[in-house]
Structure 1
Amino acid sequence: MDLSNCDKEPIHIPGKIQAHGFLIVMDKQFVVRFHSDNLHTFVPNMPANILGEHVTAIEPLIGTNEPPNFISQLILFGKNNGFEQTNPFNTDIQGKPFHLIISSSAEYYLLEFEPARSDSETDVQRAIGRSLSEMLTDKNLQNLLKNSVMQVKSVIGYDRVMIYRFAEDGHGEVVAEAADDDLQSWLGLHYPASDIPQQARELYKRNLTRLIANVNTEPSGIVREDNGDVTPLDLTPSQLRAVSPIHIQYLKNMGVASSFSISLIYKQELWGLIACHNYTPRFIDYRSRESAKLIGQILSSALEFRQDEENQFIQERYKTAVDQLSRLMLKDNEIEVALTGNPVTLLDVTDAKGAVLVFENNIKKLGNTPADNQLTELIGWIKANINESVYYTHHLSAEFEQAKAFKEVASGMMVLTISKELGEYVIWFKPEQLQTIVWAGNPDKPAEVSSNGMMQISPRKSFEEWSQTVTGTSKPWGAEEVKSIVRLKSEISYAINQKAGAIRLLNERLKQAYEELDTFSFTISHDLKNPIAVIKSYAQILSRDKELKPQALKALDRIREGADKMNNMIEEVLDYSRIGRSEPVTTDIDVSQIIKDQVKDLVLVYNAENTRITIGGTPRIQGDPVMISQVFANIISNAIKYSMKSEPPVVEINGTENDLEVVYTVTDNGLGIDIKQLPRVFELFHRMDNVGDIEGTGVGLAIVKRIVEKHKGKIWVDSELGRGTTFSIAFRK
């Protein structure tokens, strides 16, 4: 193992624990199956072999002053209410106070015993309250981080406390620091992603604090029952889990004897760490660690609030620009003029410094762009290589080597594909942003050859500053910029469909493709229904055989369920096909009644009585009542389905109107959609990666989009992973 493959190190199953405590592992029947080999160091009168014994046989030796069956009672309470309600349980072993921490891992319960006294003389739990108000005194993000490290250092007394922020590529930077005066500052230093590999970052999301009490003590092995099972014991939730030998060596190379970290979470992802180093061994008891975790949680909330506030401001600025361009496109006869010839242009929907519109065999440039001959070559590369409807990179020359010639104006590029067939695009450019990154040692030297000729597994022995100038990259494209472009794409497509008519080649091809798809889907779907009915009928006949075993009957039930599922999918494909061939019968529609009926039915279907559904304005619209009912049924059912795991699930339905259109929005607080998936939301048979086992065929939203377009309306989506989704539908008056 060296740093070239340490991202594969199985750190969650080390087979050892840190030696300052001991571990006993029971199965669900409370029978001991594992224990740490230092057990008898802490409990000398424990029998030599307790493997296979029921926990009641050892309880009196662990908790001499505890009531009978206290461990099983703790586990029962923790199963019903969460182990965070029981942890830590105060007990004493050999007359010394200990904390018992219980967690669940697969089919086992982990019982971890740690001393209940810290090396620190500070009462961490009391000091936390005073420190939180000091942390949050400044609204400036950098000052907030600086205040935080100072307060954490004053509370836990470590020699050095840093806030370590992760970049998108996994490498980290020290963005705030409080250290003893005799220590060299590490503020601003960068560390390669291999220092904290991906699997370690995932564990930091699960375990919000991590203590390494003494890097110089030997970890204790885990003794297991000799029953032939060699499955490693998963110590993911463990407090005592041993540390990777690579990381131990890494800390030793820095002279660090003890470390403590608190995770910082933003949008359910690991934003960074409060990383604490001490140059002598230092133990912090469980209660103090839990109190310190509160600092991380409050700082995480403050970070999220500050970032959301900033994102909201940016989002409003981009939204205003997209709305103005949308109005201009519908008002102006020339889409090119609407996008490039007014005070608000394509440049206002992102933070790009240059933009190019390639439309109807013309190229229109705005701001700083590559030269004409360079653009011609770049557009040719885009046609040959870019298949996504929205593509972006902040390191263009890494993808298109010729871009090095114009990296000063176009190191970053975002492409919105209007029509790949016609070679029509909007392209935005960001200039090169030279960066000098100061690394803590050369990041390109992951391992060294030791005196015996073997590769050294330690990351680096030298942590001297090593500077690297990064060229050919721009400021990265932000999530709000990508959302803005996705929205603009919808507005451009809508304007083109309204104005271009039959003269545009793209519309002709789309029409032909739709007709062919309709014919194909209708024929295939119709031909498939008969064999599916036969499969289901034979399965029903076979299930009447009373001599069949339960396993066979279960298989027949699965066959019938599969046949029903396929039949439902075929019906949806037929619906999609029928909509393509039929024209809406337009009347004045009372949308309020449609929504109320759909909500009432869907709450019963999904057993969603606990979902908080609010209905705001419901202005009337013109349309086909059957088709419009299908639109709201699909959108509202998705909102209910994908928010059911939220606490509490919330769905909001609201309609507004102006002189031109009526806009309905359906908002939920559910799973959300990855920003990279947004351009494909309305594609036929496309489902998001995070839907899991939630039922669906991937046809519903394609049907919705087709119905809305039949009504000369438009539909778009705004979503954020883990934060919910908003679908907006605009109907023309």
Structure 2
Amino acid sequence: MSKACNGADLTNCDGGATLQRAAIQPFGFLLAASPDWRIVRASANLEEFLGVGCEHVLRQPLSGIIMSRTLHTIRNRLTVIRGPVMIERLSGIAFAEGGPIFDVALHCSEGEIVIEAEPSQREGQGGSTLSMPAMMARIDQAQTLEAFFRESARQARGITGFDRVMVYRFDDEGSGEIVAEAARSGIGSLLGLHFPAADIAAEERALYARSLFRIIADVDAAPVPVVPELDEHGRAIDLSLSSLHATTSGHIDYLKDMGVAASFSIPIVVDGRLWGLFACHHYAARLLPVERRLTAEHFAQMVASRLETRECRLALEFETGARKIVERLLTAVADNTGLPDDPAWLAEVLAGAIPADGIGVWIGGRTALTGLAPSQQQFSALIDRLNGMIAGHVFATDRVAELWPEAELNGDVAGLMAIPTSQPARDYIVFFRQEILGTVHWAGASSRPAEHDAGSHALTFHKSFRAWSELMRGRSLPFSGAQRHVAETIRVTLGAVRRLNG
């Protein structure tokens, strides 16, 4: 899509410029202190919030601008930080007696203590009044993953009040898909759109796995520099854990082209990996109160936990179903030992064991081909190729053309899983999958938010989808770990049957 940063908006990290840029958004201020509690950096808007210019506080003790009671609270809270990625938060504290009330975030960065503060918003700006248990109960009632994602997006929109909330899922290589959305009427749908991995750089995905949310309150707000830009060692401040950090001008331009004025994103981390994001867009400036941000953060963690449970259950159900197929095979073989040498029977009995668009069986030169599969001649050439490259183990690829450039398989076959059934490997069961573009449903026709610069928005998304489509040419959906495990079970079972039959 663009070469700017903030994965919530499905864009590239621009070489990490956002993370190192010494600037913040103007809805708060920043102070950085050395281990001896002297101010070594400050944002240029400090006077707006504390009544003292940043040039007057540098190299001065923090106690000069933060009253002792508050400074003591900050010091105590810092003692619980363990590791480089923890963030501690304080709500409703004053820096001076009788002064304004701030919400504060604390973290440590390269030996500096970073204090970020913004005026407390005691009154929420809309959003759901449901309790977390009630929200999760609605999600738990979803019978399918699609319904689970859809309800999650609805509840996230209730919490944040953003015009559009999307559930954005990464695949194993970083490409993304919008699998659910909740949006106010009249702005169209982005559901089903796909985006290349380059749209959210690897550095940004790694950062999402460390940090908990990203926010852009107003695309028209001028960024505020942090001074000095470089320390005595020539280093810029690392703002990767900052909730105030400014983003690149390229990304701001991209959001404006889409008509988006504010964004907010929360990572969905499942089993230690970045599964995806809640990506939120608003068509007017919107500063989500800290309380709402933390609620959304907690909600995303709860959704991730539920999602992990559902994925494990689905994997177990798949393996249980495949095991029943194997049991059926064994039962049938007990009554007729010649069945494992019948390609047509094997193709029929194993057709549902692995999700695929076609299946081919090769036993001693006899074949059976069903569904999406190569021709007999192509299948024979494929078996020769497999015999020359695998040694009795299950083999899978989602890019047959890269494995076998000279092959021109009919039927848009793009991926395969080959299970050797004899030793040495010469007989095979092969599951075929079509090119992934044949399975994609693109909501492009309805992806234009009619009230917000629709033409520019549509062009941006069409361009990204075309880029993703080019990357997907000649590729199928990959075979999962659970599917490989089932294939290995089939290999071992058929091998044992053949040995018993001598």
TM-score, normalisation: structure 2 = 0.79
Separation in structure 2 between the aligned mates of residue 406 and residue 320 of structure 1, nearest angstrom: 32
Separation in structure 2 between the aligned mates of residue 484 and residue 274 of structure 1, nearest angstrom: 32
Q: 2:29 aligns with which of 13, 22, 27?
A: 22
Q: Secondary structure at the match of 1:314?
A: helix
Q: 2:76 aligns with which of 69, 73, 77?
A: 73
The correspondence of residues 523-538 of structure 1 with structure 2, limited to 5 A, is none
Cα deviations across residues 570-612 of structure 1 (Å, max 9, x unaligned)? xxxxxxxxxxxxxxxxxxxxxxxxxxxxxxxxxxxxxxxxxxx
Q: 1:283 aligns with which of 276, 280, 287?
A: 287
Separation in structure 1 between the aligned mates of residue 131 and residue 352 of structure 2, nearest angstrom: 48
Q: Secondary structure at the match of 2:148?
A: helix
Q: 1:414 aligns with which of 410, 414, 417?
A: 417
Which residue of structure 1 lines up, in the alignment, with residue 450 of structure 2? none
Q: Closer, same or farther in 2 for the Cα pair 1:206/1:93, shift >3 Å? A: same
Separation in structure 1 between the aligned mates of residue 392 and residue 45 of structure 2, nearest angstrom: 57
Which residue of structure 1 lines up, in the alignment, with residue 40 of structure 2? 33
The correspondence of residues 475-494 of structure 1 with structure 2, limited to 5 A, is 475-492=477-494
Cα deviations across residues 668-726 of structure 1 (Å, max 9, x unaligned)? xxxxxxxxxxxxxxxxxxxxxxxxxxxxxxxxxxxxxxxxxxxxxxxxxxxxxxxxxxx
Separation in structure 2 between the aligned mates of residue 107 and residue 495 of structure 1, nearest angstrom: 64
Q: 2:205 aligns with which of 201, 206, 211?
A: 201
Are 2:59 and 1:59 equivalent residues in the alignment? no
Which residue of structure 2 lines up, in the alignment, with residue 462 of structure 1? 459
Alpha-carbon shift at residue 288 of structure 1 (Å): 2.0
Q: Identity of paired residues, percent?
A: 24
Q: 2:432 aligns with which of 419, 429, 433?
A: 429
Task: For structure 2, list consecutive stretches of 5 or more residues without a partner in the other structure.
Answer: 5-10, 446-455
Q: Secondary structure at the match of 2:419?
A: strand
Separation in structure 1 between the aligned mates of residue 127 and residue 473 of structure 2, nearest angstrom: 49
Are 2:29 and 1:13 equivalent residues in the alignment? no
**Residue type matched to 2:490 in 1?**
L
Q: Closer, same or farther in 2 for the Cα pair 1:461/1:37, shift >3 Å? A: farther
Are 2:240 and 1:243 equivalent residues in the alignment? no
Alpha-carbon shift at residue 97 of structure 1 (Å): 1.3
Alpha-carbon shift at residue 333 of structure 1 (Å): 6.7
Cα deviations across residues 149-194 of structure 1 (Å, max 9, x unaligned)? 3333333322222222334443333333332323233333334433
Structure number with the bigger relative contact order (C-alpha 8 A, sep ≥ 6) is: 2
Separation in structure 2 between the aligned mates of residue 140 and residue 421 of structure 1, nearest angstrom: 43
**Residue type matched to 1:181 in 2?**
S
Cα deviations across residues 93-149 of structure 1 (Å, max 9, x unaligned)? 462210121123343332111221178533768765654444444333333333333
The answer to whether the 8 Å contact 1:329/1:339 transfers is no
Alpha-carbon shift at residue 241 of structure 1 (Å): 2.3
The correspondence of residues 663-678 of structure 1 with structure 2, limited to 5 A, is none
Are 2:384 and 1:380 equivalent residues in the alignment? yes
Are 2:261 and 1:261 equivalent residues in the alignment? no
Separation in structure 2 between the aligned mates of residue 289 and residue 42 of structure 1, nearest angstrom: 22
**Residue type matched to 1:38 in 2?**
N
Separation in structure 2 between the aligned mates of residue 114 and residue 479 of structure 1, nearest angstrom: 46
Separation in structure 2 between the aligned mates of residue 268 and residue 246 of structure 1, nearest angstrom: 31
Separation in structure 1 between the aligned mates of residue 353 and residue 244 of structure 2, nearest angstrom: 51
**Residue type matched to 2:15 in 1?**
E
**Residue type matched to 1:99 in 2?**
D
Which residue of structure 2 lines up, in the alignment, with residue 48 of structure 1? 55
The correspondence of residues 202-221 of structure 1 with structure 2, limited to 5 A, is 202-221=206-225
Are 2:188 and 1:184 equivalent residues in the alignment? yes
Q: Closer, same or farther in 2 for the Cα pair 1:217/1:413, shift >3 Å? A: same
Q: Secondary structure at the match of 2:442?
A: strand
Alpha-carbon shift at residue 229 of structure 1 (Å): 0.8
The correspondence of residues 608-627 of structure 1 with structure 2, limited to 5 A, is none
Are 2:256 and 1:252 equivalent residues in the alignment? yes
Q: Closer, same or farther in 2 for the Cα pair 1:61/1:12, shift >3 Å? A: same
Separation in structure 2 between the aligned mates of residue 343 and residue 417 of structure 1, nearest angstrom: 14
Alpha-carbon shift at residue 262 of structure 1 (Å): 2.1
C-alpha RMSD of matched pairs (Å): 4.0
The answer to whether the 8 Å contact 1:134/1:147 transfers is yes
**Residue type matched to 1:111 in 2?**
I
Separation in structure 1 between the aligned mates of residue 392 and residue 35 of structure 2, nearest angstrom: 50
Which residue of structure 2 lines up, in the alignment, with residue 160 of structure 1? 164
Separation in structure 2 between the aligned mates of residue 306 and residue 367 of structure 1, nearest angstrom: 32
Separation in structure 1 between the aligned mates of residue 288 and residue 122 of structure 2, nearest angstrom: 5
Which residue of structure 1 lines up, in the alignment, with residue 453 of structure 2? none
Which residue of structure 1 lines up, in the alignment, with residue 451 of structure 2? none
Task: For structure 1, list consecutive stretches of 5 or more residues without a partner in the other structure.
Answer: 442-458, 501-733
Separation in structure 1 between the aligned mates of residue 54 and residue 242 of structure 2, nearest angstrom: 25
Separation in structure 1 between the aligned mates of residue 278 and residue 43 of structure 2, nearest angstrom: 30
Separation in structure 2 between the aligned mates of residue 499 and residue 287 of structure 1, nearest angstrom: 68
Separation in structure 2 between the aligned mates of residue 12 and residue 356 of structure 1, nearest angstrom: 51
Separation in structure 2 between the aligned mates of residue 344 and residue 38 of structure 1, nearest angstrom: 71
Alpha-carbon shift at residue 484 of structure 1 (Å): 0.8
Are 2:97 and 1:99 equivalent residues in the alignment? no
Are 2:317 and 1:320 equivalent residues in the alignment? no
Q: Secondary structure at the match of 1:462?
A: helix
Q: Closer, same or farther in 2 for the Cα pair 1:373/1:436, shift >3 Å? A: same
The answer to whether the 8 Å contact 1:161/1:276 transfers is yes
The answer to whether the 8 Å contact 2:156/2:165 transfers is yes
The answer to whether the 8 Å contact 2:167/2:279 transfers is yes
Alpha-carbon shift at residue 331 of structure 1 (Å): 9.5
Separation in structure 2 between the aligned mates of residue 232 and residue 327 of structure 1, nearest angstrom: 69
Separation in structure 2 between the aligned mates of residue 426 and residue 123 of structure 1, nearest angstrom: 54
**Residue type matched to 1:214 in 2?**
D
Cα deviations across residues 640-671 of structure 1 (Å, max 9, x unaligned)? xxxxxxxxxxxxxxxxxxxxxxxxxxxxxxxx
Separation in structure 1 between the aligned mates of residue 279 and residue 230 of structure 2, nearest angstrom: 40
Q: Closer, same or farther in 2 for the Cα pair 1:377/1:236, shift >3 Å? A: same
Q: 1:303 aligns with which of 304, 307, 310?
A: 307
Separation in structure 2 between the aligned mates of residue 110 and residue 252 of structure 1, nearest angstrom: 30
Separation in structure 2 between the aligned mates of residue 393 and residue 101 of structure 1, nearest angstrom: 46
Q: Secondary structure at the match of 2:79?
A: helix
Separation in structure 2 between the aligned mates of residue 199 and residue 24 of structure 1, nearest angstrom: 25
Q: Secondary structure at the match of 1:69?
A: helix
Length, aligned pairs only: 475
Q: Secondary structure at the match of 2:306?
A: helix
Separation in structure 2 between the aligned mates of residue 36 and residue 388 of structure 1, nearest angstrom: 63
Q: Closer, same or farther in 2 for the Cα pair 1:420/1:383, shift >3 Å? A: farther
Q: Secondary structure at the match of 1:214?
A: coil
Q: Secondary structure at the match of 2:274?
A: strand
Query: Which shifted more, 292-301 or 431-440?
Result: 431-440
Q: 1:141 aligns with which of 141, 145, 151?
A: 145
Alpha-carbon shift at residue 283 of structure 1 (Å): 0.9
Separation in structure 2 between the aligned mates of residue 42 and residue 463 of structure 1, nearest angstrom: 38
Alpha-carbon shift at residue 385 of structure 1 (Å): 5.0
Separation in structure 2 between the aligned mates of residue 205 and residue 367 of structure 1, nearest angstrom: 43
TM-score, normalisation: structure 1 = 0.56
Separation in structure 1 between the aligned mates of residue 380 and residue 457 of structure 2, nearest angstrom: 47
Larger radius of gyration, structure 1 or 2?
A: 1
**Residue type matched to 1:246 in 2?**
G
Cα deviations across residues 25-62 of structure 1 (Å, max 9, x unaligned)? 23444343333233233222367344444xxx323523
**Residue type matched to 2:395 in 1?**
Y
Query: Which shifted more, 201-210 or 317-326?
Result: 317-326
The answer to whether the 8 Å contact 2:3/2:251 transfers is no
